[in-house]
Amino acid sequence: MPIGSKLSHPARESDHGPSSVIATSCPLDCPDACSLAVTVRRGKVVNVDGSARNPVTGGFICAKVRRFGDRIYGPDRLLHPAIRSGRKGEGRFVRATWDEALSLVARKFEAAKARWGGESILPYSYGGSNGLLTQDNLDARLWRRFGTSRLARAVCAAPTGAANMALYGKMPSVVYQDYPHARLIVLWGVNPSASGIHLVPFVRAAQKRGAKLVVVDPRSSPLSRSADLHLAVRPGSDVAVALAVHRHLFTSGAADEAFLRAHTTGADRLRARAAPWTFDRAAETAGVEATAIEALARLYEASTPALVRCGWGLERNRNGGNAAMAVLALPAVGGKFGVRGGGYSMSNSASWSIERPWIEASEPATRVVNMNRLGRALTEYADPPVEVLFVYNANPAATVPDQRRILAGLQRDDLFTVVFDQVMTDTALHADVVLPATTFLEGYDVARAYGSIHLDLARPAIEPVGEARSNADVFGELCARLGVNQDGETTGELDLLVRVLDELPGEIGASLRDGALPSPPFGTTPVQFLDVHPRTPDRKVRLFPEELESDAPMGLYAFQPDPATARHPLALISPSSDRTISSTLGELPRPDVKLHMHPADAAARGLATGDLVRIFNDLGEVQCPVLVAQGIRPGTVSLPKGLWRRSTRNGYTGTALVPDTLTDIGGGACFNDARVEVAAVGP
C-alpha cells in the first residue's frame, strides 16, 4: 500500500502529533477551483478537504483531490531529476543532479537551434495546473525569446472558445450561484456530476424551486435521471437539434425580434441555416424522437429565466464548433437575456480579462503546431523536424488523439524528449530527461475558476517533496542558462508571485494577499445584458460571424454526417470520470476499467458484463472488460477519459482509437468521432 493511502486517514493514525490546517485552493483543470483546508502533521499532508471560505465550495470537495496525498507520496512520484539509461518507454533511468539535468537540456536546446533553428524545439503543455504561475508565465518567456515552435493549445475548449469569442467576445456567463433563479436549465453536453460537482447542488436547488431540467447527452447521469426531459442524442448531432429549436423560435413567432434588431447581427443568415431543420429531420439525424426536440423547443420558448449550460462534451467532434455556436445563439434568438438566471453559461476563464502583463505581448512568427497533431509532428514534420520535445503540464501519451502515432514518435531515437512532471507518466517513460515538479500543495499559484468567477491563492502546505521544483523555478533557471533574461528580471517562484500579485489589475492582488476572494468590477454574479455585455467590437451578438467561415469546411451552422462505417459502426465517446482529472491521478489503483455498452449492442455481439473485449478500428485496439447496462444510447459506447496505459489489458487507451482529424472550427480534437467495432477476445 502506498504510504499516502494511510496518511489520508489521520483518524486511524496512532500518532496524533501537533498538526496545522493550511487554507489554500485547487488549481487543477476543473471549473470549480475549490477552497481547501489541508491538514499537515510533521511536515506531511495527512488530509485534504474542502473549506467554506469559498461559498461555491461550501466545505466539500471531490474524492479525487481528497486522496491527493496518495499521489504526493505514491510510488509513481518523481523525486529527483533522472536521465534515461534504457530503451525509450522502458522506464530505466539514472539519477542526476538538477545541474546535470538542466545543463544537458540547455546543451540540447542550443545544439538543435544551431543545426535546425529554434522551430525544431517543440514545447508541449496543457492542463496540469491552470494557475497563473504554472502556465503561460516564465515558460512562455523562454519559448518566445528562444524562438521555438509555437503550440496551438487546442486539445480542449478550442471550438467552444472560438464560438463564444465570435458570438459574444467571451462575455462573462451565468455562474453557479445564479442557477437557482432559473425556471429552465438545459445541460447540453456537460456532466457536472463528474466534471464540476459544485454545480450539482445549485441545479438541485433550482429544481426544488420548481425549475424544469433538460439534459442533452448520449448517456444518462444522476441529473438526467431526475430531468424533465433527456435527449440521448447521437454524438456529434447537436447542431441539428439546436437548429431545430431555432427554426421553431423563428417560425412560431417566439423569436425576440426586438432584441435581435437592437442587439445582434446576422440573425437572418442564422434563420436561413435553421430553415431546413424541421423537428423530423433533426430527430432522424440525432436519433431521438421528434416530439422530444419539440418539447425542448416549447419549454425553452415558454420559460423565463431560461439558462443553457453549454458543456465541452458537445465540442469533441467534427461539428463541435457549429454545435457550440448554435447552442450559444439560443438565448439571443429566444430573448432570454437580461434576467438573473437567464442566458448562457460557458467557460468563465476569460471573464477577468487578465492580460498577463508579465509576459511580452509579442510572439515570434515561428511555426505553429496544433497539439492534436502531435503524432504527425513527431513522425512527419521535416522542415525542420522536431528534434527536441519539452513536455510539462501535460501527458500526451495518454490524452491526445492517435496514441499509436504519438508513441511511435516518442520512440524516435533521434528525438530528445524532456518531461517535467510530478509523476512517472506514460509520456515520462519515453523521456531522455525527467524533471520532478512540485504539486500545488508544495508551491504558490493563483487558481482561476471557470465555472464561477473567482480567483484564489494557492499556497504551499508542505515543503517540496524530494527534489521537486516549481515551473517558475525551473523555467526561470532555463531562461538564465539560455541567456534570454534581461537585467533584473524575475526568475524564482516567490519573485514571480510578487510580480503577478503586483501586476494583476485593480485590487485583485491586494485581496489575494489578504486571503480574500477578489471580485471583478461587474461583481461575481453578473447578469448578462445588465451587468455585462458582449465584448465584440460593436457590443452586439454576432450570430453569423463571417470570419469563421474560412475555417469551417462546410460553412457556418453546417452539419457533417456521422463518420461511422459498416466495419466500425459504434460511436466511442470518452467523457470525464470521477477518478481522474484528464489523466491526472490516473496512476492510482482503480477498479477494472470497463467499456460501457447498451444491452441491445451487447446482445447483437453475444457479449455479457465482464467479458474481455477488443475495441478496435483502423487506428488501434483497446482491450478491457465490458459493462453491459442501460444508461447509454444504443450505437454508442463509452470509455473513461484520461486512462493510463496500465488501466487496460493491452496497454492502449481510448485515444488509440481517436483520429487526429480537427473540429469544424477552432482546430479542436475529435475525441468523440472515434468509430469502432467491439468483439470478444477469444477464450
| Interacting span for ligand SF4 (CB under 6 A) from 22-30, 39-47, 313-321, 527-535 | 22-30
| Interacting span for ligand SF4 (CB under 6 A) from 29-37, 105-113, 155-163, 585-593 | 29-37
CA dist., res. 592 & res. 610, Å (int): 10
- Residue 129 binding ligand MGD, by CB under 6 A: yes
Q: Which residues touch 131 (CB under 8 Å, ≥6 apart)?
A: 27, 440, 445, 446, 447, 448, 458
- Residue 395 binding ligand MGD, by CB under 6 A: yes
How does DSSP classify residue 624? E
The interface mask with ligand SF4, positions 581-620, x = CB under 6 A, is: x---------------------------------------
Across the strands, what pairs with 184?
212, 306
All 3 cell numbers of residue 515?
486571503
Least Å from the CB of residue 116 to ligand MGD = 25
| Interacting span for ligand MGD (CB under 6 A) from 38-46, 100-108, 124-132, 558-566 | 124-132
Least Å from the CB of residue 416 to ligand MGD = 17
**Cα radius of gyration (the chain):** 25
Interface residue with ligand SF4, options 4, 8, 28, 627 (CB under 6 A):
28
All 3 cell numbers of residue 417?
524528449
Least Å from the CB of residue 649 to ligand MGD = 17
Least Å from the CB of residue 614 to ligand SF4 = 33
| Interacting span for ligand MGD (CB under 6 A) from 34-42, 387-395, 410-418, 551-559 | 387-395
CA dist., res. 318 & res. 564, Å (int): 12
Q: Which residues touch 106 (CB under 8 Å, ≥6 apart)?
A: 478, 481, 482
**Class of residue 547 by CB neighbours under 10 A (exposed 0-12, middle 13-18, buried 19+):** exposed
| Alpha-carbon distances, residue 426 vs 127, 246, 655 (angstroms) | 16, 45, 13
Q: Are 124 and 394 in contact (CB under 8 A)?
A: yes
- The total of other beta-carbon atoms located within 10 Å of residue 514's CB is 11
Least Å from the CB of residue 24 to ligand MGD = 14
Least Å from the CB of residue 642 to ligand SF4 = 13
- Residue 155 binding ligand MGD, by CB under 6 A: yes
How does DSSP classify residue 12? G
| Interacting span for ligand SF4 (CB under 6 A) from 1-9, 61-69, 251-259, 610-618 | 61-69
Across the strands, what pairs with 437?
469
Q: Which residues in 188-207 contact ligand SF4 (CB under 6 A)?
A: 197
Q: Which residues touch 380 (CB under 8 Å, ≥6 apart)?
A: none
Interface residue with ligand SF4, options 2, 8, 24, 33 (CB under 6 A):
33
Interface residue with ligand MGD, options 144, 198, 271, 316 (CB under 6 A):
316
Q: Which residues in 28-47 contact ligand MGD (CB under 6 A)?
A: 29-30
Partner from ligand SF4, Mo ion, ligand MGD, none contacting 528, C-beta within 5 to 8 A by type: none
- Residue 34 binding ligand SF4, by CB under 6 A: yes
- Residue 62 binding ligand SF4, by CB under 6 A: yes
Q: Which residues in 651-670 contact ligand MGD (CB under 6 A)?
A: 654-655
Largest Cα–Cα distance of the chain, in whole Å?
71
Q: Which is nearer to ligand MGD, 177 or 220 (CB)?
A: 220
> What's the 3-state SS for 458-508?
ECCCCCCCCCCECHHHHHHHHHHHCCCCCCCCCCCHHHHHHHHHHHCCCCH
**Class of residue 171 by CB neighbours under 10 A (exposed 0-12, middle 13-18, buried 19+):** buried
CA dist., res. 102 & res. 254, Å (int): 63
All 3 cell numbers of residue 58?
461550501
Q: Which residues of this chain interact with ligand SF4, rule CB under 6 A?
A: 26, 28, 30, 32-34, 61-62, 64-65, 197, 581
Q: Which residues of this chain interact with ligand MGD, rule CB under 6 A?
A: 29-30, 126-129, 134, 155-156, 188-191, 194-196, 216-219, 221, 233, 235-236, 238, 311-314, 316-317, 392-396, 399, 420-423, 425, 437, 471, 573-578, 580-584, 641-642, 654-655, 671-672
